[in-house]
Amino acid sequence: MTAYRARRRAVRGVQYGILSMFGLIMAAPLIFVIYASLLAPSDYFRIVAPDQLTLQNYSYVFGHAPIGRWYLNTAFVTASVVVGAVIVNTLASWALARFRFTGKQTVFLSVILILLVPIQAYLIPLYLQIVNLSWLNTYWSLIVPFLVNPLLIFLMRQYFGRLPKDLEEAAAIDGANRLKVFWRIGVPLTMTGIATQAILAGTWTWNSFLVPVTFINNPSMFVLTLGLDSLQAQNYTLPTVQMAGVVLLTLPIVVMFLIFQRFIVPSMASSGIKG
Amino acid sequence: MTATTSKADSPQRGTRRGLRRFLASDNPAAWLMLAPALVLLAWWYAVPIVESVVLSFQHVAEFNFAQRSFAGLQNYQQLISDPAFRKSLEITGAFVLGVVPAQTVLALLIAALLHSISRAQGAFRTAYFVPYMTSTIAITTIFMQLFVKGGVAATALSVVGVPNQTWYASTHLALAFLVIVYVYMFVGLYIVIFSGGMETIPKDLYEAASIDGAGPFRQFWSVTLPGVRPFMAFVLVTGIIQAVQVFDQAYVIAGGTVLGSPAGATSTIVIFIYEQAFRLLDIGYASAATVFLLACMIVLGLLSRRFTPRGDRL
């Protein structure tokens, strides 16, 4: 028995060892970026004593840009897209995963078809639509087109498809209607999928650049990616200052990820109902 | 669009019984739940995409949309004989073959390992997702420093016989460099997808397997792998689609010079489309390339469907 335990402990050690090493490799660039953002510009790419570290890059950014406003714009747009996208895509994917209806396969294949087209290819027609609505330089242009996402519909459909087949029948016997089954059983059982949707929609919107750079040119409507890029254009070439910009951009989504990833947990289906 | 036709078709016309049967079926609930997504998809995606299909048959004056003329198949004829286009297809193909197996296998193994431990899962998962959350410019720039001649990675890899040179400036190594940066950034995404998918596997399956004397490898093979099948389908399909659409990393590698640098070695299909549309301002030609790409993907999709077991088809 002790030999068995010792072996188990060794296996655990190897598992954690591999995971930690991989974690270090993956986190290294951000650690480097944070470190570099604390260096004086003349110390870039050098190793310095901790007391040589400085916040001057951050004070430069804050002093030269309405960064508070940009944060507010980005947070508002991202929060709107996350909430809206989770609702729209979850509803659609439930229909695609759980219901039998005429045209189901056609709808799903159309969703995949749209996924196949790179945004660069239809950006100009999309831009013209935004112009026609007079939505240039508005939050609407950054929110409304992104409330639906074929990739998230596809992802969530896979989650809903994992729920037991007889779920609806069992619930119908208890007198629950279709929407009640969705809301009371489907959604609570797939919080992992919903959290993943929120993480993805949040990351894409927060970091999005190509779309805002096309639809927004009024500095007070800038999102963070756009604002930091506009600083670069104004002789903002010091790498340490740019690193501070990357940190300011990245830390909030890391925090967002930490919050949402807590919902990536065993679904109740694993313990309650047979899968 | 599909909504109206199927609503009209499914109940036997006019009869009350038919209407009642329609209302009792899944149809009303299904279309109600799909409505917001379908309206948005039609308006924001289908219309612009159809618009680019129309554009592919037109000549458009440089960014003056009022001036269009019918071009018939001219854009397509030009496309087929354009060596730059053919090269971009080859490069994209090679890129996808390099990226998809690597990111899928790596993500699956790490996610399975993560699934088997009980502590600090959240911390590990966050660390793995960091590159996907960090700006492409920052990650790519750091990798360029590592793979410059004499840089840490370039020197280390010269031990196994890769010449010590600046990878992203070499026509032989630039694509491999792009694959490395891309896999590094995207593997975290697929780890999170697999990781979430593995949480849907009932715990008692592992207990049962363990009682039957199955070791970790056996459990991975007979419980985890079948359990994540729907997510494997998702990761493969979206992994291929996203790799075909690689753009940002190649854009940064070019560093403000001609896209696809060096000498077209990283000129993937979307880089080609972007070049035609935004630098050479030939929207019609760019649209033809898009439609051609779409057609290729559909044909590939239909072919792969034939070789997929019925139960695993999308």
| pLDDT tens string A152-172 | 999 999 999 998 888 877 877
Predicted confidence band of residue A234 (pLDDT cuts 50, 70, 90): low
Across the interface, do B33 and A270 touch by the CB < 8 Å criterion? Answer: no
Residues B87, B38, single domain; the answer is no
Is A28's pLDDT higher than 90? Answer: yes
A196 secondary structure, DSSP code: H
Q: CA geometry: angle at B48 spanning B47 and B54, to 5°?
A: 90
Residues B38, B178, single domain; the answer is no
Nearest residue in A to B120, CA atom: A16
Domain that holds residue B133: 78-312
| B71 in a structural domain | no
- My answer on whether omega of the bond before B262 falls inside 30° of 0, hence cis, is yes
A 12-31: CB under 8 A from B: 12, 15-16, 18-20, 22-24, 26-27, 29-30
B45 touches chain A (CB under 8 A): yes
| B156 in a structural domain | yes
Across the interface, do A129 and B201 touch by the CB < 8 Å criterion? Answer: no
Which residues of chain B lie closer than 8 angstroms to A257, CB-CB? 126, 129, 133
Residues B190, B226, single domain; the answer is yes
Nearest to B128 by CA among A246, A28, A203, A33: A28
Residues B18, B156, single domain; the answer is no
A 85-104: CB under 8 A from B: 87-89, 91-92, 94-96, 99-104
The residue with greater pLDDT, A175 or B204, is B204
Which residues of chain B lie closer than 8 angstroms to A265, CB-CB? 199
Which residues of chain B lie closer than 8 angstroms to A254, CB-CB? 126, 130, 133
Across the interface, do B130 and A155 touch by the CB < 8 Å criterion? Answer: no
Which residues of chain B lie closer than 8 angstroms to A33, CB-CB? 134, 138, 142
Residue ranges per domain, chain A?
2-56, 66-270
Residue A242 has what pLDDT?
Answer: 87
Nearest residue in A to B251, CA atom: A210
CATH code of residue B273: 1.10.3720.10
Which residues of chain A lie closer than 8 angstroms to B95, CB-CB? none
Residue B244 has what pLDDT?
Answer: 95
> Could you name the CATH architecture of A66-270?
Orthogonal Bundle (1.10)
| B70 in a structural domain | no
Is A38's pLDDT higher than 70? Answer: yes
Residue A235 has what pLDDT?
Answer: 54
Residues B51, B83, single domain; the answer is no
Residue B131 has what pLDDT?
Answer: 96
Across the interface, do A145 and B297 touch by the CB < 8 Å criterion? Answer: no
Residue A7 has what pLDDT?
Answer: 85
Is A149's pLDDT higher than 60? Answer: yes
Q: Distance between CA B136 and CA B142 in Å, rounded? A: 10
| pLDDT tens string B46-63 | 999 998 999 999 998 876
Residue pairs spanning A and B at CB distance below 8 A: 264
Mean pLDDT of A97-125: 91
- Concatenating the DSSP letter of every residue in chain A gives -HHHHHHHHHHHHHHHHHHHHHHHHHHHHHHHHHHHHTS-GGGTTS---GGG--SHHHHHHHHHS-HHHHHHHHHHHHHHHHHHHHHHHHHHHHHHHH---TTHHHHHHHHHHHHTS-HHHHHHHHHHHHHHTT-TTSHHHHHGGGS--HHHHHHHHHHHHTS-TTHHHHHHHTT--HHHIIIIIIHHHTHHHHHHHHHHHHHHHHH--HHHHHH---GGG--HHHHHHHHHHTT---HHHHHHHHHHHHHHHHHHHHHHGGG----GGGTSS--
Nearest residue in B to A189, CA atom: B200
Predicted confidence band of residue A45 (pLDDT cuts 50, 70, 90): confident
3-class secondary structure for A96-137?
HHHCCCCCHHHHHHHHHHHHCCCHHHHHHHHHHHHHHCCCCC
B55, B200, B244, B278: best to mutate for the A interface, most A CBs within 10 A:
B200
B12 touches chain A (CB under 8 A): no
Residues B152, B300, single domain; the answer is yes
B 244-303: CB under 8 A from A: 244-245, 247, 270, 273-274, 277, 283, 286-287, 290, 293-294, 297-298, 301
Q: How many domains does chain B have?
A: 2
Which residues of chain B lie closer than 8 angstroms to A87, CB-CB? 36
Q: What interface predicted TM-score (ipTM) does this complex get?
A: 0.91
Residues B111, B224, single domain; the answer is yes
Nearest to B286 by CA among B294, B275, B295, B297: B275
Across the interface, do A95 and B29 touch by the CB < 8 Å criterion? Answer: yes
Range with lowest mean pLDDT among A77-91, A213-227, B4-18, B32-46: B4-18
A33 touches chain B (CB under 8 A): yes
Across the interface, do B127 and A122 touch by the CB < 8 Å criterion? Answer: no
Residue A195 has what pLDDT?
Answer: 96
| pLDDT tens string B108-143 | 999 999 999 988 999 999 999 999 999 898 899 899
Residues B182, B131, single domain; the answer is yes
Which residues of chain A lie closer than 8 angstroms to B52, CB-CB? 117, 121-122, 124-125
Residues B16, B110, single domain; the answer is no
Q: pLDDT under 50 in chain B at which residues?
A: 1-8, 10-12
Query: What predicted TM-score, i.e. pTM, was given to this entire model?
Result: 0.91
Task: Specify which residues B58 forms β-bridges with.
Answer: B70
